[in-house]
Amino acid sequence: MSSKAKFQAIRGTRDLLPPDTALWNRVEQTAHEVFTTYGYGEIRPPIFEPTDLFARAVGGDTDIVSKEMYTFQNPTGLAPMFREKEMVGTLAEMSPESEMISLRPEATASVCRAYIEHNMQQMPQPVKLYYMGPMFRRERPQKGRYRQFYQIGAEILGGPDAPAIDAELIEMLMTFFDKCGLQGTELSINSIGHAADNCRRGYVAKLREELLKVKDKLGADSQRRIETNPLRVLDSKLEHEQPIIAALPHIADHLCDECKAHYAAVKRELEARGVTYRENWRLVRGLDYYMRTTFEITAKGLGSQNAVCGGGRYDGLVELLGGPPTKGIGFAIGEDRLILSLQEGGRAPAAQGRDVYIAWMGEHAYATAIRAAKTLRSAGFRVELPASELKFGKALERASKLGSRFALILGDNEIQSGEWTLKNLATSEQQKLSEQALLEYLHTASGS
Ligand code: HAM
């Protein structure tokens, strides 16, 4: 890159800018509020973790781990830039012991790692945690799909084997979407049983057998998945595979009695909470840790990337990561997609204007303007104080461009008389007010 070349955000990453960030903050605030009412506490795990954590939790054969993680070697010793003089190449720092680390592609693995690391099984169970923040996957970028994207997620760890836990988690999620004003949400649920011969393993064997019979008619990805993970064939979006998939056996007919009873109870519990759902026997999800309940929510205005949330139960995961046998269930919302859908639905906030633009002229007026700006801001008003003197005409023009409601005009006359001029920029009405009367007037005008 030449010294004059402009830098751009890396492909698949982007800047979130005002006024959009106001909507992001509102959504995040709603999550804090709603999740708190259900007894969840916030966890902030690190952005990077040992690669092995994700490989073991999410699964080495999944797309996420095998293709999409940002992985690098964590050099041992000091970083090269702290060394004397010559830059020591990072590669020279590598030793066989240096650890492979990855930017997190998701956070469930981290939450389970933290549960074990901080002995949370000693706390009252279940432990309910939520998180929000950036995740990283090297996917092909498109609308609603980024390489740095944001999730808002929640996990419940420990506690009894109660379908009410699954249902209450989903109820909370739907309440959150409702409070955000998200339109056209559709909840799909399924049960993928547990890994036993008389349950999912038996079904997968049957599925593989059936898929082998139609192998020639399938695309390359599905053909490969017959061996690696036949369940993922059910995820296929390829047009010509749809009639073939429709004729495959359904997992619901192959669940063991306990998983069947659990699934039936989850549905009853959802109905008791007035949560509407659709069953989708093809909902298997792309991460290895799931068992029993899986669910996904789609929303309007998102095109092909319309899954705004995914989640499910993962009872064996804590144990797989070296902890005690522990139940677990959770979800992650794609915040970028949630925001997109809200914006498409007209929920975007308008650009933030100013309550008061202070048009000042003269040294005395400037000192008063500084004081007035401070007082008005501490009373909660959005105030613009221009950094250099402007003719009143120019200042009023700027005030309008910034979407200001009022202009406070401070010149020699105002300073001498102590009566300030307030102009309503929508009606062009002007009035003279003392400092105290101005504050009262603005409070009344803004309804505060
Ligand atoms: P996931 O289905 O991989 O599940 O991701 C959850 C959501 O994150 C997706 O439904 C989507 O909205 C959003 N998402 C995923 N990838 C991208 C991307 N490249 N760009 C934009 N949005 C994306 C998980 O991550 C699990 N950890 C969820 C979970 C929590 N299961 C149990 N607990």
* pLDDT tens over the chain, length 448 residues: 556 889 999 999 999 999 999 999 999 999 999 999 999 999 999 999 999 999 999 999 899 999 999 999 987 766 555 555 454 444 444 455 568 999 999 999 999 999 999 999 999 999 999 999 999 999 999 999 999 999 999 999 999 999 999 999 999 999 999 999 999 999 999 999 999 999 999 999 999 999 999 999 999 999 999 998 999 999 898 999 999 999 999 999 999 999 999 999 999 999 999 999 999 999 998 889 999 999 999 998 888 889 999 999 999 999 999 999 999 999 999 999 999 999 999 877 777 899 999 999 999 999 999 999 999 999 999 999 999 999 999 999 999 999 999 999 999 999 999 999 999 999 999 999 999 999 999 999 988 6
Report how far ligand 1's centroid is from the alpha carbon of 1 (Å): 34
* 309 in contact with ligand 1, CB cutoff 6 A: yes
**Which of 306, 310, 311 shows the shortest CA–CA distance to 337?**
306
Shortest-distance atom of ligand 1 to CA 109? 27
Report how far ligand 1's centroid is from the alpha carbon of 111 (Å): 15
Residue for token pair 């795990």: 45
Report how far ligand 1's centroid is from the alpha carbon of 143 (Å): 15
Q: Are 181 and 364 in contact (CB under 8 A)?
A: no
Q: Are 420 and 411 in contact (CB under 8 A)?
A: no
pLDDT value of position 92: 45
Which residues in 168-193 are b (16+ Cβ under 10 Å) and which e?
bbbbbbbbbbeebebeebebbbbbbb
* 442 in contact with ligand 1, CB cutoff 6 A: no
Most informative mutation of 62, 68, 106 for ligand 1 (most atoms within 8 A of CB): 106
* 146 in contact with ligand 1, CB cutoff 6 A: yes
The values of phi and psi at residue 259, to 5°, are -65, -35
Shortest-distance atom of ligand 1 to CA 297? 10
* 230 in contact with ligand 1, CB cutoff 6 A: no
Shortest-distance atom of ligand 1 to CA 108? 27
Rounded Cα distance, 268 and 261, in Å:
11
Nearest-CA residue for atom 10 of ligand 1: 309
* 106 in contact with ligand 1, CB cutoff 6 A: yes
Distance from CA of residue 200 to its chain's centroid? Answer: 31
* 137 in contact with ligand 1, CB cutoff 6 A: yes
What are the strands of the beta sheet with 99-103, ordered from one edge? 48-50, 99-103, 71-74
* 298 in contact with ligand 1, CB cutoff 6 A: no
Q: Which structure tokens are listed for 149? A: 């994207």
